[in-house]
Each structure stands twice: as C-alpha cells, then as structure tokens.
Amino acid sequence: MPSPIYRGERLPKKRNKHKSDMMKLLSQFQAALDNLIIAALGRLATVGMVVEVLQALLLYLLVASPTAIADRNLTKRSSDDENYLYDSNVDDDGHSDHNEDVTDDDINQILFPETEAREGTFPSTEYTLNVSSLVQVVLYCDLHPTFCNKVQVAYAAAATEFIRVVNIKNSLRIAAYYYRFCDNKCSNDTIAWAVPSSQFTLPFEDGADLNYIYPQTLAKQLVPYGITSSWDDWDIEMDVNHDYYLCAVDFDEAYEKGWNGTDVPPGGKFWFQNETAIRSGQIDLKYVFLHEILHGAGFGSSWGDHLSHEASPFRQLLQGIFDPIELQLLTPSPLWVMLEQMGPIYVIGFQPTMIFDKFLVNVDASLHPNGHQSMADLGFEIQSFCVSDQTSAYISNFVNLFNRYGKSIPARELWLSMGRNHTLEFQFPPPAISNSSFSINDYLKSKYSRMVLSTGQNAMTSRLELGGRDFRPSLSNSHVGQMYAVSPDFLMTDDFRTGQTLDEIVKEVYADIDPIMYLVPFNGTLVNQTYQSPIGPGILRILDTMGYSTVLTNTNYMVNSEFNKTAKVHTCDAGDYDSLQATAYVSSAVSDFDASSFLIAVGLVSWLFFM
C-alpha cells in the first residue's frame, strides 16, 4: 500500500550534512537490503547479477539521501544530494589549493569541513495553516509569536495568489524557514531562496517529457494517481533571511516607539499587511514569498557555472590544475558519484535538465548570426559526453577529457554569451489546448511568443541573489529580464521593487493595458473574469508551457498514463561503466517498465534560487 502524502508534522530537515550522515545512509542500506534480496532473487537469473544490484544500491545510498524510488512509472531524483555536496563544503577554512597530488585528506577537508564551523540553528517552532482543502503552508519560526504570525499571514497570502491562477488538483505542501542566516554564516545580502523538494522523470505519452526533470509540485499534478510513496513530505522548501529584515531597523527609533528590546524591533526591511504605510526601501513580504513559491514550483534553469564559480566545491578541487578559462563553462548539472565514504569525486557526465530548460533558446547574434541555438539540443549534445572507466571519471581527468575532445567549446561559448544582454529567451510553443486565452485573446496572442531572460555582465558574479555559504552556481537566467520590471510580468525579475505593496504594484502595472478577460465556470455556466494577478500573463505562460494547468490555459492536467517506450534515453543513464555504475536499481519498486534505464545515481541539481 502506498503511504499517504500527509505523513503528519515534522521538524525541518537538517540541512548541514557532515560525516555522520554516511552512517545514516548505511543504516538505510541495511533496512533496504532484505527486501532487495527477495525481489532480486525472484527476478534475476544469477548470483552475479544479484551482487551487481546490491553494489549499485550501496553506491547509490552512499551518494544520495534520501533514496530515489521508482514507484510505478515514476522516477525520483532527490535534491538532497545537492545540499549534501554544497552544504558540506563552503566554509573559508575548508579551502585549500589543489594540484595533481591532491590527497584524500584535502578532499575530506573540502567535502567535510569541521562541524563546529558549519553547524547552525534552524527554527523548530511550527505554524501550520490550510490555505485550501488541498494546499497547506507550514512556517518554522522561533522569533516572537506575534512577529511569526505576521510572517505566516504574508506567506499564506502568497500561496493564495499562486492557487488563484494555477490549478491544483493534488495536494500542495510548502515549508518555509524564517531565521537569521547569520546564525549559520552571515549573508545579509540574501533575501530568500527556494527549492523543489524533489524532481522526477515522468514517462507518459502526453503531458510530460521523459527527457527532462519535473519539480515535485508539477509532477504531482501530472501523474494519473494522487498518492505515492515517492513524494517527499514537502513539495517546496524555502528559507527567508531575518537578517535582511534587521538590516534596515533603526534601533534608537524603535526604542523611542516603545520597543522593549525583547521581541522583534519594528521598522525592518519587510513590510507586513495591516501595518502603517509602506516606507521607501521596504519590500512587501508577500511579494518575496510569492516569488520564491514560483522558483520552488520549477521556475528555474539547471544550466550553471558549476566548475569555475568561487563558491563551487568543484572549483576548489580543480583550481591550480587548470587555467581559469578551462573551467569557465556553462553546463547542465554534473553527474557525480563517490565510490567510498569520504572518497574522491568522480564525474561520469551530465544530468538531464529541468523542464524549464526545454524551451530556452540562445539568441546571441555573435554566436548565431543567422539564427539561434536550442538549449535543449545543446543539452543533449553535452549530455552525450560520458566516460567509461574510473580513471577517466576522476574529476580532474573528466574535465581534461571534456576540454581535450572539444566538447567544452559550446559550453565555453555559452558561458561568455551569458555575460551579454538579451542573449537568452524562453520561447513559447503553441498552447496545449485550442481554447487557451493565448490563442483567442488578441493582446495575449500578439504579446507572448517569447520572454527574454536575465543575462548580462553580472550573470555569473552577482551577489544580489546569492550569498554566503548558501550559494549555488546557477545563473540569473532563472529570472526574466529587467525590461519587465514595470510590466505585469515584474514578479520574476532578479530584483524586488521597493516602497510599494504588492497590491499597489499590481494595480499600477495593469493600468496601462486593456483588461485581459478569461472565462471561469460559475453556477453551471461560464462568466468573464478580469485577469489581474501579480503572476503576470507571461510568467503564467511559462508555467503552462512547463505543464501546469492555469486559468488562462486550463488543460486539467490531461495525460495518457501509458508508458512512452520511444523516449530518448540519455547516454549516461544507459551505459554500463564497470565499477562506476551510472544507474541505480530498485527492482522491488518497479512496475511496467525497467527502471535501470532511467534511474540515475542522483548527482548535483544546482537550482536553488535566491533573492
């Protein structure tokens, strides 16, 4: 019997992973071992094949936590391993120069810096609110209850805005952690970040593309069954930085206004509903939450500067071996493994990209004077580069081969291209249904054939949306360009508008365009409704292109549940790499299709999004 999606309340995940996590993973292996032996013996012909399965599972458990589960045509790719590699790495005292004689101790210091330098305190006091019968928001906040309740109101209001225009047919559960980032490592320039709890491949003929990864929120809407043991407790997780609120507090003024010094002082950077008029420089916290909910719902790219950015753990392993230009590459997330506890890093190839990436097009005229380059096609080309033995997969050898055989040329060109303005677009295919508002409304039809994404001089190095230990090497192309800052699509630019409430901004940006009308069911008939959401029509068009059903393109998540046997299989997924197994086998959980072709030993999916 599949376990229910609502498993009860729990404390937030411990994000700072260290050496003791390996013992937990080994315990997971022991728990899974008996079931796997029974299933394997019932299906496989030889003892050798059983041993191969067990070795693959052990490798997988050492690489990823929690385990990935194939649950009836559903392949899970957890994002916790991403936190594992990055969160265990970023302290300054963990930095060391590396050369060809790098030792295991060097690697251990990078991957497992001293616990005392990394451990922080995450909030545990829980505030739970059901926004609707299907949507629940859970806030973890250890500050004064009066203040936490104000945060919860903004949080719930943002979730309400999301489900007003995005149709939710299966449960949505969001976790937010509100705390001082400086309790862990100071990062006052970071406002918030969000991440899908997990991502999946969805092997259905219609409505999903097996070649891309779907965030859990969207995957839950697309699958033909609502309850599965594959789902994580949360669909979206986010952190919001209380230090950013405090950086604007005038403490002398707060005391003059009666603050007693024990609870949260008034007058911070965030504005809350029902407070006095918003001040210059303040940001409506509902605005922040809504922006992050969209990132957690999958609005973001997995293309990133994974090797050369100053905060990348890969860079710390590679600097001194390569010239900087050899690491300046824009690629999908590396597919990496560790063969033993605290052992060296091996890179087999590159992971499939996110469904968001399927529709990205590079339009840099200096690279494509007569046209453009599909990022989807380029992604498949880069993903075709795989290595077949342990020596080649050692991280420095992998990068050397990637450069030597010319596969890095387009990746380096892309890295340079992202430093130029207006070089990346999200291009829309025809709407999924004929009665979409984008097909029948003249304004929407003419306005939204594409959206320009954020690129430019600071795309690789900006600290505005990335800060301190929490940095992930994904680009600002997880946002739209600044030309939309004063349009209805302002929500997903890479900067927040200040001095106005979210409602005031919405009223202003829609004032200069004709009303956008759409039909909604009411008492057995259809009535006209005016579209005026902080999620602008272009942003909503991106979501419906990814697969969401929305009020402007109401697909009702219609999919064909029959497995698509003709889907492309990534080279690194299907290969047999001797001691480096690129696939993980969980035979006991498989039904109707062979998971060994699709379940990657989960690597690094760098798409945490910060503001």
Cis peptide before 332 (omega within 30 of 0): no
Secondary structure string (H, E, C) spanning 103-116: CHHHHHHHHCCCHH
Q: What is the pLDDT of residue 339?
A: 73
Mean pLDDT for the stretch of residues 280-296: 97
Note whether 273 and 157 are within 8 A (CB): yes
Return the beta strands (E) in 390-547 as ranges. Answer: 424-427, 450-452, 516-522, 525-531
Segment holding 544, helix H or strand E: helix 537-546
Q: How many whole angstroms separate alpha carbon 44 and alpha carbon 478?
A: 44
Residues 6+ apart with CB under 8 A from 525: none
Note whether 65 and 197 are within 8 A (CB): no
Beta-bridge partners for 519: 528
Looking at the predicted structure, is the pLDDT value of residue 91 above 80? no
Q: What is the pLDDT of residue 406?
A: 84
Looking at the predicted structure, is the pLDDT value of residue 20 above 50? no
pLDDT in tens, 464-509: 555 444 445 555 568 999 999 999 999 999 999 999 999 999 999 9
Q: How many whole angstroms separate alpha carbon 26 and alpha carbon 22?
A: 6
Segment holding 580, helix H or strand E: none
Q: How many whole angstroms separate alpha carbon 41 and alpha carbon 245?
A: 58
- For residue 326, give the nearest of 457, 415, 394 by alpha carbon: 415
pLDDT in tens, 153-205: 999 999 999 999 999 999 999 999 999 988 655 657 789 999 999 999 887 77
Q: What is the pLDDT of residue 203?
A: 78
Q: Are strands 283-284 and 270-271 parallel, antiparallel or unpaired?
A: parallel
Looking at the predicted structure, is the pLDDT value of residue 586 above 70? no
Note whether 327 and 308 are within 8 A (CB): yes
- Report the 10 Å Cβ neighbour count for 166: 23
Looking at the predicted structure, is the pLDDT value of residue 54 above 80? no
- Report the 10 Å Cβ neighbour count for 338: 18
For residue 268, the SS3 value is: coil
Looking at the predicted structure, is the pLDDT value of residue 354 above 90? yes
Residue type, 492: M
- For residue 100, give the nearest of 354, 386, 308, 399 by alpha carbon: 399
- For residue 481, give the nearest of 424, 545, 416, 430 by alpha carbon: 424
How many residues in the chain? 611
- Report the 10 Å Cβ neighbour count for 133: 8
